[in-house]
Amino acid sequence: MKIPRLVAEVGCNHKGDMELAKEFINIAASFCKVDIVKFQKRSNKELLTKEQYNAAHPNPANSYGNTYGEHREFLEFSMEQHKQLKEWCEESGIIYCTSVWDLTSAKEIASLNPVLIKIPSACNNNLSMLEWLADNYPGEIHLSFGMTKYVEEERVIQLFEDKGRNKDLVIYSCTSGYPVPFEDICLLEIDRLKKKYHKRVKEIGFSGHHLGIAVDIAAYTLGASIIERHYTLDRTWKGTDHAASLEPEGLRKLKRNLDVTHEALQFKNEEILDIEKVQREKLKYRER
């Protein structure tokens, strides 16, 4: 089994506050001991129509602006700020990552030369963005398969194979919902992706939006070597993602449980282990 990597997705849970984002990084690195912290980058006027940009937020209680566009802009960090986030991650000994939602954002984040870039489920059919990254960005490209048809999955894999970049591609099993009930997590999709694609891509991952941490251990044992979870400092905060996020203590426990599960997932190297020999001598039944 590959050593598990845990991604703490801050996303927009920083509420547009750089000092809060720095706190997210420091806690994720020093207390939770995760491997990767992930943010988001969007060019909102490229992503949204004028009507969408100027419309009211669908859930006004979670809005940080008078319109959906203003809300999204309030939560958006500039490139200078992303450069600072990357520096803070490196100082904390943790990997910086960002989800890119459009071609402009992909080009901007690639200019920072991060270890990896993430493509969210919502954008995995943006073929022009995928092609640009395959041609111009040398790092790992991680991509979620939430709300994606099988034919669309195959098209993505084929694109990266055609570009000779499929061995830099990590694909994630994902159900797009916030939060996702357990019956909709569909963990066996990991097994399907592994059987179909593990020889064609670098790794299989799992992006979860559920409650608790038990399911993530099962995801790892099924073959998802990268686990991604939304991360917040307070699940009661204003915003749509906090309720489906883990707080620091949950994230810390998940990292610990993944590490000990990796340690335990092996065969015995001899029929009777050294730890068993004393017990065998003392306890094993003998015919008299």
CA geometry: angle 150, 151, 157, nearest 5 deg: 90
> CA-to-CA distance for 194 and 105, rounded, in angstroms?
30
Cα pseudo-dihedral 209, 211, 217, 218, rounded to 10: -80
Q: Does domain 5-283 have CATH number 3.20.20.70?
A: yes
Residue 253 has pLDDT above 90, yes or no: yes
Residue 240 has pLDDT above 90, yes or no: no
CA geometry: angle 109, 110, 114, nearest 5 deg: 85
Position 1 scores a pLDDT of 87
Q: Where are the domains of the chain?
A: 5-283
Q: What is the pTM of this model?
A: 0.95
Position 53 scores a pLDDT of 96
C-alpha distances in Å from residue 83, one per residue of 9, 75, 88, 122, 283? 17, 16, 9, 25, 61
Residue 178 has pLDDT above 90, yes or no: no
Position 244 scores a pLDDT of 87
